[in-house]
Amino acid sequence: MTDSFYFDNTNGVKTLRCRALDEIGFKKHCFTTRAGGVSRGYLSETNLSFSREARENVLENYRRVFEAAGFSGSAVLSNQEHTDIVLTVDGTHKTGGFWTADRAADGFVTNERGLCLVIFVADCVPVIIADPQKKAAACVHSGWRGTALGITAAAVRKLMQNYGCDPRDMTAAVGPCIGACCYEVGQDVFDGFTARDLSLSRFFEKKTGGKYMLDLNGANRAVLESAGLLPENIHLSCECTYCNSDIYYSHRATNGKRGNMAAMVEI
């Protein structure tokens, strides 16, 4: 883990936080881990996916995370399909509970106070982007397809279009994901990843047998820099979910027997 990140264990709920977001006034944020909830078995302990177990367990997990992180209680949940679609949400989405996107969406932007943006991961890349000048934020799920499509850049553009944000004022926190040490992919992923931009091939390390190791952290940093963020304002946790599957849910490490973590941010 890099110095930009630290673990918080408020009320026994273990979350990962980014110091840089704290310092610009976005203290209400977190990347969840497995610890602190009521889920059991292979879902233990803080599964945040309603489709994977009894609703009452998931609601209790959210209650514990929200209380530990200081979120207000109104949240929007992504409907992820590995797209580059980023939805704008506002006060009409504040229900006092959960609003799930009614169409495919792998990210959100908002300038609405008291509305928690939530995306889900279990190896894919969670990214939080915040602008302290315009008081706006984005939360993005970026798997290999979303990274290749440039979803974080799409979120930056939407922040600019909606709220007049300047990328040079933005800070990005890239949370735990499967690392280049463990993310082995085949020729199909290499071809799909580089189809729009062959320069992205630099994030692949070629192995034998038509296999590659893919660096999603580096690729997401590059996409954010191409969108105009300053290098010094992009913070990578460098926490590998596969290497640390006792702390984080990892789809690959468990052959799909896992819950979902979340990245969350609220203005």
Residue 197 exposed, middle or buried by CB count within 10 Å (0-12, 13-18, 19+): middle
pLDDT at position 160, please? Answer: 98
The residue among 126, 158, 155, 156 whose CA lies nearest residue 143 is 126
pLDDT at position 220, please? Answer: 98
pTM above 0.95, yes or no: yes
The residue among 5, 211, 11, 246 whose CA lies nearest residue 126 is 5
SS3 158: helix
Query: Cα–Cα distance between 253 and 182 in angstroms, integer?
Result: 9
| Cβ neighbours around 231 below 10 Å, total | 8
pLDDT at position 25, please? Answer: 98
The pairing of beta strand 136-142 with beta strand 107-110: antiparallel
pLDDT at position 117, please? Answer: 98
Query: Cα–Cα distance between 5 and 12 in angstroms, integer?
Result: 18
pLDDT at position 21, please? Answer: 98
Average confidence score pLDDT of the chain: 97
What domains lie within the chain, and their CATH numbers? 5-265 (3.60.140.10)
Residue ranges, the chain, pLDDT below 70: none
Query: Cα–Cα distance between 153 and 85 in angstroms, integer?
Result: 11
The residue among 211, 210, 212, 231 whose CA lies nearest residue 220 is 231
pLDDT at position 155, please? Answer: 98
Q: Which helix (H) or strand (E) element contains residue 173?
A: strand 171-174
pLDDT at position 169, please? Answer: 98
pLDDT at position 6, please? Answer: 98
